[in-house]
Amino acid sequence: EPEVTQTPSHQVTQMGQEVILRCVPISNHLYFYWYRQILGQKVEFLVSFYNNEISEKSEIFDDQFSVERPDGSNFTLKIRSTKLEDSAMYFCASTRQGGNQPQHFGDGTRLSIL
């Protein structure tokens, strides 16, 4: 069964540095999502993306965050100037259609900000 894949599995970065998290959605999917989970807490929505545009974003997704689909397969999340509180697991998901479709998560990237 096709899966969402994410790289790297673990990223350690100095505070203030830029970081790019990568996701390869399932190949025929058109809707893409990023979520984060701070250790021991619930999963939180960050952003949804369709047709090369952000569809929806949460309050967490401020000006330091951006998303991009640079080619036909990758979907990236960039944090421009990382803060300590950005330390979390970041999960990518994709769906073929929009709306109430099952969202299957990738294995996530653990981001540690020092």
Partner 1 sequence: GENVEQHPSTLSVQEGDSAVIKCTYSDSASNYFPWYKQELGKRPQLIIDIRSNVGEKKDQRIAVTLNKTAKHFSLHITETQPEDSAVYFCAAGSGGSNYKLTFGKGTLLTVNP
Q: Does 41 bind partner 1 (CB under 8 A)?
A: yes
Which span sits near partner 1 by CB under 8 A: 10-18, 22-30, 54-62, 64-72? 54-62
Which tokens sit at 22?
A: 């990568």
34 close to 20: Cβ distance less than 8 angstroms = no
Burial class of 67 by CB neighbour count within 10 A (0 to 12, 13 to 18, 19+): buried
> In the set 17, 18, 27, 55, which binds partner 1 (CB under 8 A)?
55
91 is a contact residue toward partner 1 (CB under 8 A): yes
Distances (CA, A) of 95 to 4, 10, 26, 27, 53: 10, 24, 8, 10, 15
Does position 48 bind partner 1 by CB under 8 A? yes
Question: Which amino acid does the sequence have at 72?
Answer: G
Q: Kindly tell me which residue out of 29, 30, 44, 66 binds partner 1, with binding defined by CB under 8 A.
A: 44
3-state secondary structure 39-57: CCCCEEEEEEEECCEEEEE
Q: Considering beta carbons, is residue 17 or 55 the nearer one to partner 1?
A: 55
109 contributes a contact to partner 1 by CB under 8 A: no
Residues interacting with partner 1, by CB under 8 A? 31, 33, 35, 37, 41-45, 48, 50, 55-56, 58, 91, 98-108
